[in-house]
Structure formats: C-alpha cells, structure tokens
Amino acid sequence: MDGSDGIRVLLVGDSPQAFSLIRQLLEKRGCECHFAGSLEAVKNLLRLWQFDIVLSTHGIPSYPIQTLIGLSSGSSASLFSSLRVEEGSWWLPVLQCGKECYGPALTVGEFSRVLDDLTRQILIER
C-alpha cells in the first residue's frame, strides 16, 4: 500500500505491544499504521505524512496530551486518547477532523464500532 488513498494511523505510546490488538483490527481494515514512542518520533512522522487517525495511550513520559493536540489541531485527523480503568480501558475522542471534541468516553466495543464508521467515512470522502 503506498498510502496515497489508504488510511494512515499514528499510534503514540510507550510500547508498540500496547497497540497489538487494535493494530490488527486497523490493518484488517486496510489502514497503514505507524508507531511513535517519543515526542521527537511523533514530530518526525507528522513532518513526513498526514495522518487520518491518531491513537494515544499517554505512555510517553513528560509529554502531555495537549502537545499532541497542538500538533494535530487544524489537520483532518481524528485523535483518541486511551484512559485506563479498573477493568481495561476506555477511549476518549479528543479531536474530530482536527477540531476539539472531548467525550464521551467509549468502551473497547464502542470504540471498535466508531473506528469502523470513521474508516468507512474517510474512504467515502476520498
């Protein structure tokens, strides 16, 4: 896939393994996934490509989600941040098509459906 018409996803966190299941789902949907484990890597990847979806687990030490919002704001990207809870995690929408849109938090099942809808919408718009 050359990425010219595919969906490009940026995964931001401390470990690629934290995204293993979601990466499998995204790649099944034809998404091209890239991982960044540092703020410098995020900046480098954002200089190279425009991303449609950005997923963050807040795993990078000393970098607040606000930095990622600032870097992605104004683009066409949708940004989601993972929140750990007692029994798993929830996903919080932070940007929708580059515009701030906090909440509501989504369970893993709800998030999977949102990603399905989002990837379909992105492909239709192309």
Domains defined for the chain, CATH in brackets: 8-125 (3.40.50.2300)
Over residues 36-86, the pLDDT tens digits come to 998 899 999 999 999 999 999 875 555 677 788 888 888 899 999 998 787
Whether the model pTM is above 0.85: yes
Mean pLDDT calculated for residue range 25-35: 94
If we measure between CA atoms, which residue out of 15, 20, 31 comes closest to residue 77?
Answer: 31
If we measure between CA atoms, which residue out of 2, 22, 15, 12 comes closest to residue 77?
Answer: 12
Across the beta sheet with 88-96, the strand order is: 32-36, 8-12, 53-56, 78-85, 88-96, 99-100
**Distance separating alpha carbons of residues 70 and 21, to the nearest angstrom:** 27
In whole angstroms, how far apart are CA 64 and each of 70, 81, 82, 88, 122? Answer: 10, 11, 13, 21, 27
